[in-house]
Each structure stands twice: as structure tokens, then as C-alpha cells.
Structure 1
């Protein structure tokens, strides 16, 4: 089968290759991939500047959904024909403090689908049965391919951040993650401001369509002045930083209130410089967010089923996997919004 393979470490070193069709081992489920989204971390894999362990040669891709076509020995919870999606945490130790308490996303031994184990930029992939979730008939395959990034968002916004009705929340960066974050924050009853730059014009328009209360182009308007007027000089209650841009994160620290919450969701891909003393002077509660866990997946699926989060409007392009180079270039150039790759027949 044709698959997008990171065949060696280093910048680039990725191509479509013919690889053997996988077989499920004991306790594993084989899934026919119907759609797979391109994540920002896939670009980091391409450029080899990501801290998550990578084990080339490996089939890339980890945001996906599909249909079960075969199960391995001992699998009873799943059967051929089931519509499913899957977590990315393929393996972890199961013994450390983080695994025992359900935070296996933080396990030092965690190894990830599409990084260490063959992933979803292919016709078929194999995953452990414990990581599989039901994709209800109400969720189409394109929407379902975005459940993985949404699960990361629900982990950050619902499990690591406290948002209450009436809070003013600044979402920095109107990419697919930012637009999902907007919707989850709105579901909590927040007043949401989404910020971006001139290149984000269409994305900021999409934010309005997804019920953002305010949008701001920080290259055309003064963010600090806007926030001061909106909050009567107090500052925003919560910052959800989704851009992974140092300047944007630093600017967000200027407009957050004292004792506010700052959650970093976007990845910078390199060390950055920010005014860290603002965290002290404002007594900010700051957290990072890494991946997702079982509970965040269940919450993400529930939000989509209830219509509180819409993922399909975030998809601007559906392309065959053979056009991955064009899709990656578009992603890096911020052309379109979310790009989804569709597997091809051999």
C-alpha cells in the first residue's frame, strides 16, 4: 500500500513509498483510514525539529478516523465494520505515576502513532484496542478526522484550565486548533476574543462564523488598547495561546489580568524569549498542554455529537495523499485552514 514515510532523520527525508499492508497482532485493531488530517507536528516531523521521540522509517500521520476491517487475537470489543477513531498514544509503561493516574500522555516511555509506530497517512493502520473510540453515525469521516486535535484542545481547555460563565478568554491564533479552542471556550459560557494577523484574514472571518464574540487583527489594531477597553482595564481572565509564536505569547502576557490563567497549546518548535517576570508580577497561573488522554477524547466526541463544536467547517481542502507535498507547502504558508489527506488505492 502507498504511505507517506519519514524514512530517515533530518530535514525533509519524507516520501510516498510502497509498504506492506499491516496485520493486527494480539489485542490490536486494523483500521481502514478514511481521512487523515495534517497536524502542525507533522511539519515538525518533516523538518525534524520536534521533541517527541521519532523512529524512522515510519509511516506518518496521527489525526484520523475510519472503519475496522480486522481484529487481532483477544479483541472482543471491536468488530469489522465498526466506525472508529483512535488516540495517538500507541504505547506507554503503564507503571509510572502518570500512567497509574490516567495521565499516560506524560509517560516518559510513551511512544506515539505516526512518530514511533506506523501511522495514518496510508490506506490501513493498526492500533491497540484500548486506544480506539466509537465514531457515531452522526459524525462523518471528515469531521471525525479532526477529533484528535479536538481531544488535545479539550484536554487543554477543560482539564487543565478553569473557565466559568462570563470569563473573557483570549484565543491567540485562528488556525484549526485556535478555532476549535474558541468553540470549546464558548461551550463553557465564555466571552471569546480571537486574535490573528493580516495573513489570518479568512481565518478570522471563520472565527466570526463560529460565534467568536470579537476578532482582532493585531497588525491593524492595538491589542492592549482593545482588551483594556473591553475589560475596563482589568485584562482577560484566560489566555489560550494556540499560535506557537513567541511575539504573540509575549503580547498575550501583557493583556492578561493579575491572577489570570495562561495555557500554552501551540508548539514553538524552538526556544523562545518572553518577559517571564510578568508571570511573577501578575501572579499568573501558567500551564502547558501535551496531547490528550481518554477523558479528553470522550469529551471531544460528546461536544461534536451535541453540536457544541463543529469540526467540518475547519476543513478547507481534501487532497489525495499523493499530493502531500503541495498540502504541506499550503500548511506552512497558511493557505486554507485544515487540510485533510485521503488515502489512495494501490
Structure 2
């Protein structure tokens, strides 16, 4: 099979690669669509993903396709089934797995991170990580179930009501998903900070009451602040913008070297709650339902589509291309 193989930092090539063989509890999926995540860019530039990455490896942890082979003890899937894959594989035996915190598993493995993923024509995954999708759901939508699942995990950490003023920092793909979930809570107002002028119309269509273009605004104040960028200045702004008793969700993935400056007195005197959010523990099925019921739109958020042969150049030029959400179609 053909696969885009990460061979080292900023080194990706399309190569002939060994087609996977399913283990007893696994299936092989012919990949139809694979999302290109910001985390893939982090890995491409030499940073860790949800776990440490050891090239050569086929990236791609947002993926969907059709089952073409099943392992000897697989019972719930058969060839021809259309599936979306939750990439995260938990050990089930560490203290976090046994304490209902599987996403913090000390032995975490992940399709497209620690084992070959969706940037190849075929991919293997445990049966337990595969979720069947409705016939009417496109493979592109099914590939984007994973990021919505991650957003759902963070969203559930927040307490929202009809009086909540919500600020979302970052109007890219992740911010757009949060925006749709928050809108369905009937909060009092939603403001999005997004410097790209061309996104204003889309953000308003998705539910933003106001779109602000500058990160340095000191007048913003919100009961709930959701940071979706992962940069020093945006994370510091998230804390500063929180009202008394406010909640701050730091969702954007910063580089490991990023350090922010916050005032402990401000956290104390405003009694702020600051939370992080890591991956998507068992939210995949709910995310599929939200897309299938058109509660969350992901299809129209895709800004760029690529073919396998374009990936090395695409990954090298990703920021310059202005991609909001890119997807690979096999």
C-alpha cells in the first residue's frame, strides 16, 4: 500500500508501506478520509502528540473508512462495515484506567501516534475502537468525529446557564465546534476572538453574537472563557478576561516549552476555576450522534482537501496555505 510516512522532524515521504494484518481482536480498515489535526503539525515539527512519537510512523488519528479484514475473534464487525475510529487505546490496568480516568493512562497508545494511522491507504485498529456510522454520514464527517469528541470532553467540564457570558478565544476549527455546542445551551451571549476577518460571517452563522478581531482587548469580560489557540498571549488573555467566579478552559495545545504568566492573586481574588482538557475518553459515540442529528455541523467547516501524494508538501507548507481544517481523501 501507499502511505505518507513521517521519517523524522519535518521529513515526510510517500512510500510503499507494509499493509497491516489484523491481530485477533483487530480489524483492517480501508481509509476513506483522514483529518489533518494541529497535533499532526506538532508531531511533524518534532513535538510529542498524545504520547511520544517514534518515526518512522504513519500519522493520522482522525480517520474513517470501510472494514476489509477482521481478526479471528472479532464478533461485532464484518467486512463492509463503515466505521469511525477512536484512536486512543488504554491499558485498562493502571491506576488511572481503574479510577475512571482512562484518558490519563500511563500506557496510552494511539492510532496515528504510536502506531500507524490514517495517512496510509489501510490502517488496523482494535475492534473496540471502531464505531459504526449511519449510512447517511459521509466519511469526511466520520473522520471529524474524533476532534468533536475531544471538544465534548472539554465542554463537559464547564457549567453553563442562561445567564452565562461566554468568550471563545480562537475561531478556527476547534473554536467553531465549541461555538456550536455552547450555542445549543442558550447562554446569554457568545463572543469569539478571531483575527481573520474572512471567518466573521461563518462564526456569526454558527452562533457568535460578536466577533472581535484583536487579542489585546482589555475590555472583554466573561463568565466562561474557552481558549482554543494554545499560544502564550491567548492563554494569558483567557485568565485576564475571566470575570469573578469565572471558569477558564485551556483547550488549545501549546508547545511543551510554552510558559505563561498569571497572577495568583487574580486567581485567588476572583476565585477562578482553571481547567485543562486532554483527548476524548469515550465520547466518540455521542459525537457521532451530534453530527448525525445535525446538532453540530462539521462538513461545511472543511477548508481544504488533499490527496495522499500531496501530503509531504502540504505538511511542510500548512501554515502558509491558511488551512482552517484540512482533510485527506484516499
Specify the SS of the correspondent of 2:260: coil
Aligned runs of 1:4-153 on 2, under 5 Å? 4-8=4-8, 11-50=9-48, 52-90=51-89, 92-153=90-151
Q: Is structure 2 residue 237 aligned with structure 1 residue 238?
A: no
Cα distance in 1, alignment partners of residues 35 and 71 from structure 2? 26
Alpha-carbon distance, 1:37 to partner: 0.7
Greater than 3 Å deviation, 4+ residue runs: none
Alpha-carbon distance, 1:329 to partner: 4.5
CA 1:306–1:165 in structure 2 vs 1: closer, same or farther (change >3 Å)?
Answer: farther
Cα distance in 1, alignment partners of residues 137 and 33 from structure 2? 13
User: Could you tell me which residue of structure 2 aligns to residue 292 of structure 1?
Assistant: 280
Aligned mate of 2:306, from 298, 308, 319? 319
TM normalised by structure 2 equals 0.94
User: Could you tell me which residue of structure 2 aligns to residue 230 of structure 1?
Assistant: none
Cα distance in 1, alignment partners of residues 88 and 5 from structure 2? 19
Specify the SS of the correspondent of 1:55: coil
Alpha-carbon distance, 1:206 to partner: 1.8
Aligned mate of 1:216, from 197, 212, 217? 212
Unaligned runs of at least 5 residues, structure 1: 228-234
Give me the CA root mean square deviation.
1.7
CA 1:291–1:248 in structure 2 vs 1: closer, same or farther (change >3 Å)?
Answer: same
CA 1:271–1:123 in structure 2 vs 1: closer, same or farther (change >3 Å)?
Answer: same
Contact 1:13 1:46 in 2 (8 A): yes
Aligned runs of 1:136-215 on 2, under 5 Å? 136-158=134-156, 160-190=157-187, 191-197=189-195, 200-215=196-211
Return 166-175 or 50-59, whichever deviates more: 50-59
Alpha-carbon distance, 1:319 to partner: 1.1
CA 1:207–1:45 in structure 2 vs 1: closer, same or farther (change >3 Å)?
Answer: same
Alpha-carbon distance, 1:309 to partner: 0.4
Contact 2:44 2:315 in 1 (8 A): no
Alpha-carbon distance, 1:138 to partner: 2.8
Cα distance in 1, alignment partners of residues 12 and 315 from structure 2? 11
Alpha-carbon distance, 1:82 to partner: 1.1
Unaligned runs of at least 5 residues, structure 2: none
Cα distance in 1, alignment partners of residues 136 and 202 from structure 2? 23
Cα distance in 1, alignment partners of residues 166 and 175 from structure 2? 12
Specify the SS of the correspondent of 1:223: coil
Q: How many residues get paired?
A: 326
TM normalised by structure 1 equals 0.89
User: Could you tell me which residue of structure 2 aligns to residue 249 of structure 1?
Assistant: 235
Contact 1:29 1:128 in 2 (8 A): yes
Cα distance in 2, alignment partners of residues 276 and 37 from structure 1? 37
Q: Give a deviation string over 1:268-294, Cα, whole Å, max 9, x none.
A: 113222224232332111111110011
Q: Give a deviation string over 1:288-314, Cα, whole Å, max 9, x none.
A: 1110011x2122112112211000111
Alpha-carbon distance, 1:78 to partner: 0.6
Cα distance in 1, alignment partners of residues 313 and 206 from structure 2? 27
Alpha-carbon distance, 1:330 to partner: 5.0
Return 257-266 or 321-330, whichever deviates more: 321-330
Cα distance in 1, alignment partners of residues 164 and 198 from structure 2? 26
